[in-house]
Amino acid sequence: MIISMTGFGRGQYSLDGFDAVVEVRSLNHRFLDVVMRLPRGLNAYEQAVKDIVRNKVSRGRINVAMTLKTATENELGLRVDEEVARRYKQLLENLMKTLGLSGTITLDHLLHFSDILAIDEESALPEQAWTCVETALQQAMDDLNAMRFREGREIAQDLRPRVNGLQEKIENIKVHSATRGKAEFDRLYKRLRAMVDTKELDATRLELEVALLADRVDITEECTRFQSHNTLFLEAIDEQEPAGRKLNFLLQEMNREANTIGAKANDAQIAHWVVGIKEEVEKLREQIQNLE
């Protein structure tokens, strides 16, 4: 199955005075990496969030952003540290007295000190808050996957004709290579005869050596393996499991076979086809870097 690793999803849900909004963005990554920003008071659910994401996605960098709103501020885990506020007020009053300043300390002055507002670590949000966030997260992940699957189908439509084109090029190489077997034999035979300085020539041994050389430049096996990789590539596209890793491996093997064909063939036309094959394989590799 072809699934894109990039996408965006959004979910929103309200329950018992809580309103949760979750946005999920996915990017390319070799493994699964979940980065999240949880609302205050829901840090205990970090592992639960990761489990939900893992059930929907197997690879990629997943950024999860959550917001949770409620009519009562203290339900969000915030509290005012009154003792700290009193100390700041006392310090400011002492400073004004020392400097001989007049005026009154106001709330605006105290709010410049951020530690007056503190997160109440012991304050836990009610179960409804997590239910609200969880539902919004499930919606966002489903929305994300819908986009990833849609992009995957579009990529698959581009991959199939490219792989079929590679199949045709390899078939052309096989046909062309088959017609040049005798010519290669004759060429090698003449080269060896020209290198022999003596007039007493062992024809049987010479023909054996030439046959061995011709066999070493035969590319039938490489062409067959390349076409086998092509077939597996097309089958992987239609499998139910994410195919990104498998396709990447197959393309590496295709490139390896193409290099061997080019090195053994010693033919200008085949070399030209091999260059085209390697260019197409590289384009395919760029495409599948975005696949799960």
Are 95 and 221 found together in one domain?
no
Are 93 and 206 found together in one domain?
no
Residue 7 forms beta bridges with which residues? 26
Quick one: what percent of the chain has pLDDT higher than 90?
44
Are 177 and 187 found together in one domain?
no
Are 188 and 177 found together in one domain?
no
Q: Which residues, at least 6 apart from 57, have a Cβ–Cβ distance to it below 8 Å?
A: 26, 32, 141, 144, 145, 292
Q: What pLDDT does residue 289 have?
A: 87
CB 13 within 8 Å of CB 38: no
Structural domain harbouring 159:
152-181+215-288
Are 168 and 205 found together in one domain?
no
Are 70 and 170 found together in one domain?
no
Residue 32 lies in a domain: yes
Q: What pLDDT does residue 47 have?
A: 93
Residue-wise pLDDT tens digits, 243-287: 889 999 999 999 999 999 888 877 788 889 999 999 999 999 988
Residue 113 lies in a domain: yes
Q: What pLDDT does residue 184 have?
A: 66
Are 223 and 99 found together in one domain?
no
Residue 2 lies in a domain: no
Are 113 and 26 found together in one domain?
no
What's the CATH code of the domain at 62? 3.30.230.10
Residue 204 lies in a domain: yes
Residue-wise pLDDT tens digits, 174-217: 888 877 666 666 776 676 667 665 655 566 666 666 666 666 66
Is the pLDDT score of 160 beyond 60? yes
Residue 261 lies in a domain: yes
Q: What pLDDT does residue 74 have?
A: 44
Tell me the pLDDT band of 22, cut-offs 50, 70 and 90.
very high
Q: Could you give the number of structural domains in the chain? A: 4
Residue 70 lies in a domain: yes
Q: Among candidates 195, 192, 193, which has minimal Cα distance to 213?
A: 192
Residue 1 lies in a domain: no
Q: Which residues, at least 6 apart from 94, have a Cβ–Cβ distance to it below 8 Å?
A: none
Mean pLDDT rounded to a whole number for the chain: 84
Are 86 and 107 found together in one domain?
yes
Residue 256 lies in a domain: yes
Residue-wise pLDDT tens digits, 85-144: 888 889 888 888 888 888 888 888 888 887 787 655 545 577 888 999 999 999 999 999
Are 259 and 220 found together in one domain?
yes
Are 162 and 243 found together in one domain?
yes
Are 186 and 275 found together in one domain?
no
Q: Report helix angle 203-216 to 181-195, nearest 10.
A: 130
What's the CATH code of the domain at 227? 1.20.120
Summarize the confidence of residues 219-241 as an average pLDDT: 90
